[in-house]
């Protein structure tokens, strides 16, 4: 898997052709993404919140699954690069997925779209699109099934680096529904690639994948133990619909066991930061006092999400551009 990811995502000069998963990407390319994003942070604060880098390019947001925040920040990122954006919200439930996806792809390619940003409920959907996209068309994974959400992981890494400076020496706890979380998978890969000292996952047994330990993490079931002396706490969203199943006790009980309160937060390092990919279920994953407190960097994550997505979009479009030129020569 790792090797094919590398072959699909990078060209011979180690430039990004697509951005589908953290798996297969090394520390230098992740650092390059973070450094490039650093350059884009100022753009949002200027009189004219745009750079002309991707002028004349067409980016299609292909969302087979609902999302407000991710789609909006991708759209804003593409627009701040001066690209034109098509937003397509396509219900995946209607017809057989493979054919629908390819048909949609071919139609958009006939309109000379330069990039697909895809979110899909099926794991591997973005890979599938990248494998079938025309040469010169880049694909970014905006979340596929339980598999990966690599841009979310990168904006989280950017947030951590902005607050902590270095990754080496950090202890990071990821708390909540690890089992269903594509965000957690991508975060664990990115944190380990960037060389943090320790990644912990904190969850009840029912919300942990059976192979959790093979991901390179320390597993904790007790929240108080898991949060002790960490530098960064990443809370995951609990999908409330799962409450009804046998996987979880009541919301109230979940909060008492795995909800982040000020008392628990005091067990972490004094300068610890609290993150959450949003949207927050207040009173389920965390107390409002924590969500709105001084250690919360949740809204900064949203702002940084634009810079990170600008970096990834422009890097992919830049590489794909060069590829088409090579064909033309």
Partner 1 sequence: MSDNTTFMQADGVESLIDVMAGKIWTLINDKEITEPLMVGIRTGGVWLAERLHQELGLRDPLGTLDISFYRDDFTRIGMNPEVHPSDLPIPVDDRHIILVDDVLHTGRTIRAALNEIFDYGRPASITLATLVDRSGRELPIQPDVTGLHPSLDPDQHITLIGPEPLGLILGAKTNRTSRGDEQDKDA
Q: For binding to partner 1 (CB under 8 A), which residues are involved?
A: 13-15, 32, 35-36, 38-43, 46-48, 50-53, 314-315, 318-319, 321-322, 325
- Intra-chain end-to-end CA distance of the chain, in Å: 33
CB of 157 to partner 1, least distance (A): 18
- Which CB atom, from 154 or from 235, has the smaller least distance to partner 1? 154
What residues form DSSP beta bridges with 10? 16
Cα(104)–Cα(107) distance, rounded to whole angstroms?
5
Helices (H), strands (E): how many in the chain? Answer: 12, 9
**What tokens appear for 265 in the block?**
């937060």
CB of 131 to partner 1, least distance (A): 22
- Which CB atom, from 38 or from 109, has the smaller least distance to partner 1? 38
- Which CB atom, from 17 or from 217, has the smaller least distance to partner 1? 17
* 153: CB partners within 8 A, 6+ apart: 22, 183, 186, 187, 189, 190
- Which CB atom, from 218 or from 323, has the smaller least distance to partner 1? 323
What residues form DSSP beta bridges with 117? 61, 140
Do the beta carbons of residue 203 and residue 177 sit within 8 Å?
yes
CB of 310 to partner 1, least distance (A): 9
CB of 321 to partner 1, least distance (A): 5
CB of 130 to partner 1, least distance (A): 18
Cα(230)–Cα(202) distance, rounded to whole angstroms?
12
- Which CB atom, from 8 or from 51, has the smaller least distance to partner 1? 51
């Amino acid at each position: 898997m790792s090797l094919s990811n590398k072959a699909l995502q990078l060209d011979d000069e180690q430039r990004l052709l697509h951005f589908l998963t953290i798996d297969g990407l090394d520390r230098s390319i992740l650092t390059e993404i973070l450094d490039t994003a650093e350059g884009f942070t100022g753009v949002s604060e200027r009189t004219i919140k745009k750079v002309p880098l991707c002028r004349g390019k067409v980016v299609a947001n292909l969302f087979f699954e609902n999302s407000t925040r991710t789609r909006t920040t991708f759209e804003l990122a593409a627009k701040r690069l001066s690209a034109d954006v098509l937003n397509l919200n396509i219900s995946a439930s209607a017809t057989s997925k493979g054919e629908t996806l390819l048909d949609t792809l071919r139609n958009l390619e006939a309109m000379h779209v330069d990039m697909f940003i895809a979110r899909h409920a099926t794991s591997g959907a973005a890979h599938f699109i990248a494998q079938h996209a025309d040469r010169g068309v880049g694909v970014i994974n905006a979340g596929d099934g339980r598999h990966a959400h690599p841009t979310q992981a990168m904006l989280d890494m950017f947030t951590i680096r902005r607050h902590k400076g270095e990754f080496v020496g950090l202890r990071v706890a990821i708390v909540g529904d690890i089992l269903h979380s594509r965000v957690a998978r991508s975060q664990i890969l990115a944190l380990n690639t960037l060389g943090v000292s320790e990644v912990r996952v904190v969850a009840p047994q029912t919300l942990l994948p059976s192979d959790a330990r093979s991901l390179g993490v320390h597993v904790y079931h007790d929240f108080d133990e898991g949060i002790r002396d960490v530098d960064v706490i990443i809370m995951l969203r609990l999908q409330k619909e799962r409450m009804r199943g046998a996987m979880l006790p009541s919301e109230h009980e979940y909060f008492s066991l795995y909800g982040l309160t000020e008392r628990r937060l005091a067990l972490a390092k004094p300068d610890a930061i609290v993150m959450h990919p949003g949207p927050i279920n207040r009173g389920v994953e965390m107390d409002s006092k924590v969500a709105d407190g001084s250690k919360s960097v949740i809204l900064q994550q949203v702002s940084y999400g634009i810079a990170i997505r600008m970096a990834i979009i422009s890097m992919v479009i830049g590489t794909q551009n060069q590829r088409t030129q090579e064909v033309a020569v």
